[in-house]
Copies of this chain bind each other. A is one copy, B any other.
């Protein structure tokens, strides 16, 4: 599993380990190494060809969960996004062939790959017109996966995941609205939110995403690409209200104006995943938020420590500049 130390990676590692699968997690361990004690973890970077080659040895299914950028940051340096994500993913495909990996499961971006979708909720066959370089490189990787299956019989499946949230998501890379809100709420800081609250997203609890990852790893049908979301759009304002109700207090929001990378509405049609994967999202939004709040209450201290360490590091770097 590539990206085992990230938000989806940690959740997937824990699920697979609990089910008795033999897994090797590769990536940057990040904040929650104690959450991965039952997993073999190898520290390394996707750009390190030798390390990736070693990690792939003997693997049957590879989960590719790495992306160094987020929708906003990718647009600031598109060349770097290609160099850090697309090129290492191509190298990964060659290495997977050499290692005789059977299948690659790739987490793509249901929230950005369609761009300003005409049809809401959006089906997998809708046009893909990303308005961020993040979505374009995800799309290109999907296309190369298809090429490797066609020419080299390397199987693949893609999950176009909407906006996942849940335990182990922290907002340090400025991705994850719900994590950013809860982090702000827990340490009583103003919460920076882009837009005016009208932007609609499709939030899906991480446990449901992990269900889909497990199913897609063994899927034998003809489909290759599956939307994974709740199927229902929810405005940022509604999310804030739900969280305020569950926390039973007002949040301190600092509205930041809208951004060109944010499409006004994103909600995925998940009919294909229901019918062809036998997947259903089991967790209601409110239940997911409640679980996430519970997690934050237990983990705010360690997240806070990391956040402060990061801040200090950034300030030190500024002095050097």
Contact = CB atoms under 8 A, between A and B. Distances in A.
Size bracket of the A interface: 20 to 34
A146 interface: yes
A90 B86 contact: no
A241 interface: no
Given A125-B127, A127-B125, A144 B260 contact: no
Interface string A278-294: 00000000000000000
Nearest to A139: B143
Interface stretch (A74-82, A181-189, A206-214): A74-82
Given A79-B87, A82-B82, A82-B90, A147 B131 contact: yes
B143 A130 contact: yes
A35 to B, nearest CB: 35
Given A79-B91, A131-B147, A139-B140, 9 more contacts: A78-B90, A78-B144, A82-B82, A129-B146, A130-B143, A131-B150, A131-B151, A136-B147, A150-B260
Interface of A: 75, 78-79, 82-83, 86-87, 90-91, 125, 127, 129-133, 136, 139-140, 143-144, 146-147, 150-151, 260
